[in-house]
């Protein structure tokens, strides 16, 4: 089985071919990701209109490159899978329409894939993980804990009630005058900072409600920065380190709650696992916190390679393969309309007030 995947939901234009032959491990035959970071950097964040135009310009070439790299001709592909939501609607339209056109011209089935499902199933592509497992998705647009129970069977156990975690990193960076994207720069500055200098809040820590919140932390950072302005490099480093410590602590509290719930709901699962996905999973302090939590709770900690944790099309192609082999191909995909919002779990109520980008989830 070979599937061509296309991803354009945010600021990466990506295409990939993934193959599955019998019982052998799946193979990523090509995985091309063009980041638009430079186009958006001057604005300190992703500008939807610029993103959509950049996708239009790049996508044809990226698809061609993904096919060429894979050594698979278009007529040897079994299906075309494209992200159909959630995300920025301009980019989704570009990717899904392109996929529809390719599928129609090559007479191949089309799969309209939920971007979050791509993240959720990646650990099966990289690590052959069995259902059920727990997923922590921490990116610029999403902060969720999801019980991954099967293909198309997801239960959201926690989400953010305001900002996504990556968004909190990006906004903190902006406040402190660090360049976009903020996460890696906050981490870099934090390396030389004192995490104990500022006692920032640990939002939701100990709360009976399972969700995340980061806007109060962001406000606390702003107040601390304003109080001691102008900021020296050491002040910036100390704020970053203290912010990161607060985030790791708050996140650890929420995750450990979910690990306990997983144990209770799946007592027979011999080797439970926590999988991380999303750009924030690159953060070493956060990773170390999660690793320690998992070790203490007897969970495997699975962090797929960074290239497959952040937005990419291999995860979309793989989700397509999972759907095809589960007999879940959608005969009406050619009529599918891109969805800027598309919860992975249609049962859990959407979170009222979830932040500008967080609301995607």
Rounded Cα gap, residues 293 and 323, in angstroms: 32
In the complex, least distance from residue 172 CB atom to ligand KG4, rounded to whole angstroms: 10
| Residue 61, marked binder | no
Contact call for residues 5 and 314 (beta carbons, < 8 A): yes
In the complex, least distance from residue 222 CB atom to Zn ion, rounded to whole angstroms: 27
Q: Which residues contact 198 (CB under 8 A, 6 or more apart)?
A: 224, 238, 239, 242, 243
Stretch touching Zn ion by CB under 5 A, among 76-84, 146-154, 234-242, 305-313:
305-313
Rounded Cα gap, residues 278 and 208, in angstroms: 25
Q: Does 117 bind Zn ion (CB under 5 A)?
A: no
In the complex, least distance from residue 232 CB atom to ligand KG4, rounded to whole angstroms: 22
Rounded Cα gap, residues 221 and 247, in angstroms: 12
| Residue 194, marked binder | no
In the complex, least distance from residue 183 CB atom to ligand KG4, rounded to whole angstroms: 2
Structure tokens at 136: 């922590």
Binding mask 246-275 for ligand KG4 (x = CB under 6 A): ------------------------------
Strand, coil or helix: 105: helix
Strand, coil or helix: 201: coil
Residues 197, 199, 205, 211, CA torsion sign: negative
| Residue 70, marked binder | no
Query: 52-63: b or e for each residue (b if 16 or more CB lie within 10 Å)?
Result: bbbbbebbeebb
In the complex, least distance from residue 138 CB atom to Zn ion, rounded to whole angstroms: 10
Query: For residues 30 and 143, which CB has a smaller minimum distance to Zn ion in the complex?
Result: 143
Q: Does 170 bind ligand KG4 (CB under 6 A)?
A: yes
Q: Does 311 bind ligand KG4 (CB under 6 A)?
A: yes
Query: For residues 2 and 40, which CB has a smaller minimum distance to ligand KG4 in the complex?
Result: 40
Query: For residues 191 and 295, which CB has a smaller minimum distance to ligand KG4 in the complex?
Result: 191
Beta-bridged to residue 271, according to DSSP, are none
Rounded Cα gap, residues 136 and 120, in angstroms: 9
Beta-strand (E) ranges in 151-295?
153-159, 273-277
Rounded Cα gap, residues 113 and 317, in angstroms: 9
Q: Hey, which residues between 306 and 325 contact Zn ion (CB under 5 A)?
A: 311
Q: Does 187 bind Zn ion (CB under 5 A)?
A: no
Strand, coil or helix: 27: strand
| Residue 311, marked binder | yes
Stretch touching ligand KG4 by CB under 6 A, among 69-77, 105-113, 163-171, 335-343:
163-171
Binding site listing for Fe cation: 115, 119, 311
Report the binding-site residues: 115, 119, 137-141, 170, 183, 187, 283, 311
For Zn ion, the binding residues (CB under 5 A) are: 139, 311
Binding stretches for ligand KG4 (CB under 6 A): 10, 139-141, 166, 169-170, 181-184, 187, 278-280, 282-283, 310-311
């Amino acid at each position: 089985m070979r599937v061509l995947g296309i991803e354009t939901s945010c600021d990466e234009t990506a295409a990939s071919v993934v193959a599955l032959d019998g019982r052998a491990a799946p193979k990523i035959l090509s995985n091309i990701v063009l980041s638009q970071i430079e186009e958006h950097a001057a604005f300190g964040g992703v500008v939807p209109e610029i993103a959509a135009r950049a996708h239009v310009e790049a996508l044809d070439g990226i698809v061609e490159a993904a096919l060429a790299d894979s050594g698979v001709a278009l007529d040897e592909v079994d299906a075309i899978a494209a992200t159909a939501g959630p995300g920025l609607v301009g980019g989704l339209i570009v990717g899904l329409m392109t996929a529809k056109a390719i599928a129609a011209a090559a007479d191949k089935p089309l799969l309209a894939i939920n971007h979050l499902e791509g993240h959720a199933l990646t650990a099966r592509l990289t690590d052959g993980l069995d259902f059920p497992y727990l997923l922590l998705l921490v990116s610029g647009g999403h902060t969720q804990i999801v019980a991954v129970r099967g293909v198309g069977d997801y239960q959201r156990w926690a989400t953010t009630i305001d900002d996504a975690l990556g968004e909190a990193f990006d906004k903190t960076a902006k406040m402190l005058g660090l360049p976009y994207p903020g996460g890696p720069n906050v981490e870099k500055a934090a390396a030389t900072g004192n995490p104990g200098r500022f006692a920032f809040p640990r939002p939701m820590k100990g709360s009976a409600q399972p969700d995340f919140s980061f806007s109060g932390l962001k406000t606390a950072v702003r107040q601390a920065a304003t109080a001691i302005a102008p900021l020296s490099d050491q002040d910036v480093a100390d704020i970053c380190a203290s912010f990161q410590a607060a985030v790791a602590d708050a996140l650890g509290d929420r995750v450990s709650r979910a690990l306990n719930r997983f144990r209770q709901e799946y007592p027979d699962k011999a080797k439970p696992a926590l999988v991380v996905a999303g750009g924030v999973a690159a953060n070493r302090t956060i990773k170390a916190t999660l690793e320690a939590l998992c070790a203490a709770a007897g969970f495997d900690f699975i962090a797929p390679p960074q290239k497959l944790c952040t937005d990419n099309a291999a995860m979309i192609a793989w989700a397509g393969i999972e759907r095809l082999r589960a007999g879940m191909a959608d005969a009406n995909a050619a009529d599918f309309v891109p969805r800027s919002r598309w919860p992975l779990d249609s049962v859990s109520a959407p979170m009222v007030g979830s932040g500008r980008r967080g609301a995607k989830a």
